Amino acid sequence: MRRLIKNGQCLVDGHLQVRDILIADDKIEKIGEHLTANVPVDQIIDAQGLFVSPGLVDLHVHLREPGQTDKETVRMGSLAAAHGGYTTIAAMPNVIPAPDTPERLKNMLALNQRDGAVHVVQYATITTDRGGDELVDMAGLKAAGAFAFSNDGNGVQTAGTMYQAMKQAAKLKLAVVAHAEDDSLTYGGVMHEGDVSKRLGLPGIPSVSETAQVARDVVLAAATGVHYHVCHVSSAATVQVIRAAKAAGVHVTCEVSPHHLLLSDEAINRDNAMLKMNPPLGSEQDRQALIAGLLDGTIDLIATDHAPHTDAEKAQSMLKAPFGITGSETAFAMLYTQFVKTGVFSLAQLINWLAVQPAKLFGLNAGKLAEGKPADITLFDLTTPYKIKATDFLSKGHNSPFIGEQVVGKTIRTVVSGQDAYVNKR
């Protein structure tokens, strides 16, 4: 099967230039100007006026299967990713049962393979059932196909457990991917502790709950030599700890989520669970530090933390609703509109953080448009405005604070291994 994507705008040395891309089966065969295939093509895709991007790579999604299919499924979560322009996603292990044994992991890999509309790689847990201090069989899980180790949803509470996990993971050359949260510093809070939480009378989460654990972990990472990756960094102080650790030569990388870049706690003007996530939205000063951290290279990449929940759960008060918002279907358009259109980021920087870096830092064969590479390609319309609507989401979750936003950056087509995973029917 040969397909030719004609006249699209590709990033070449950081600038948009017209290129044609010839796909043969699941690979990119050729990229060039005015390509005319010397063998017949099965389909010509007109990409005139569209941005042709490497398929985006999301290192942090929650697919909820097995165990919570009322919130999301592998099928719908991966279709949502395709709708957002993602062609590779990494699924977090806070499912029921958690992938904490090689057998459970293998079952999940089979499910991801069967139902995934995009490439789905799978995190295994660090400890049994993502809690306590009993380490999983890391070697067995690596052999079974684990992408990396994470207890996401919870921090690893004991330094000794994290230290042993890092030693093992370093030997196996797999990353430890940390949700950093010290439970003794969260005080049952539901939003960032600061002026806004005080004004609203809602219990606050001090941001030291994140920073203290990252500070502990960079010391352990230095001692073990592991690749330590910090999930959803949310505070200025955490950025500073990571900046210092990088300067000291520690193998630490980190991600920031779109919502922490786009919103601060000042957006919370009432009890609204659509703005409840973990870690919580920080202060405006935190938000500015996250943007600066990306721009100076302290923060390596952007990952959505797509965390679907049911409408009923998120209709509750912030005191009761679960933490988490969806992100796969809004990330590119929101970030493009808020940061690239306004000149804060260049398009090349945004694609670097959404595709190139996540693939590169985790050794995925993705994130790049080049001859011989997998045909994982996304076509975006960067000019036609549209409104984000819950009825357009393919995710089972509608818990997005960005519903109603007027944006540009609509996904027109997402190609995974040469096949359409999403096509906009405009």
Ligand X SMILES: NC(=O)N[C@@H](CC(=O)O)C(=O)O
**Which residues carry out catalysis?**
305
For ligand X, the closer CB: 101 or 304: 304
The reply to whether 7 sits near ligand X by the rule CB under 6 A is no
Kindly tell me the burial class for residue 416, based on how many C-beta atoms sit within 10 Å of its own C-beta (0-12, 13-18, 19 or more): buried
- Tokens 């397909």 belong to residue: 3
Q: How far apart are CA 22 and CA 369, in angstroms?
A: 11
Q: How far apart are CA 183 and CA 167, in angstroms?
A: 23
Residue 339, marked binder: no
The reply to whether 20 sits near Zn ion by the rule CB under 5 A is no
Residue 398, marked binder: no
- Tokens 């958690």 belong to residue: 98
For ligand X, the closer CB: 84 or 102: 84
Q: How far apart are CA 142 and CA 105, in angstroms?
A: 10
The answer to whether 415 and 88 are in contact (CB under 8 A) is no
**Which of 77, 116, 155, 324 is in the footprint of ligand X by CB under 6 A?**
324
The region of 34-42, 178-186, 256-264, 296-304 touching Zn ion under the rule CB under 5 A is 178-186
The reply to whether 306 sits near Zn ion by the rule CB under 5 A is no
Q: Which of 318, 119, 164, 152 is nearest to 230 (CA)?
A: 152
For ligand X, the closer CB: 85 or 324: 324
The reply to whether 94 sits near ligand X by the rule CB under 6 A is yes
Residue 323, marked binder: yes
For ligand X, the closer CB: 224 or 264: 264
Phi-psi region of 158 (alpha: psi -120 to 50; beta: other; left: phi over 0): beta
Residue 260, marked binder: no
| Cα dihedral across residues 152, 283, 322, 314: positive or negative | negative
The reply to whether 255 sits near Zn ion by the rule CB under 5 A is no
Binding to Zn ion in span 209-248, by CB under 5 A: 231
The reply to whether 323 sits near ligand X by the rule CB under 6 A is yes
Please, which residues have CB within 8 angstroms of residue 110's CB and are 6 or more apart in sequence? none
The reply to whether 179 sits near Zn ion by the rule CB under 5 A is yes
**Which of 3, 6, 19, 62 is in the footprint of ligand X by CB under 6 A?**
62
The answer to whether 342 and 15 are in contact (CB under 8 A) is no
**Which of 29, 65, 72, 152 is in the footprint of Zn ion by CB under 5 A?**
152
The reply to whether 153 sits near ligand X by the rule CB under 6 A is yes
The reply to whether 152 sits near ligand X by the rule CB under 6 A is yes
The reply to whether 155 sits near ligand X by the rule CB under 6 A is no
The answer to whether 227 and 240 are in contact (CB under 8 A) is no
Q: How far apart are CA 334 and CA 11, in angstroms?
A: 20
Interaction site with ligand X (CB under 6 A): 62, 94, 152-153, 179, 277-278, 305, 307, 323-324
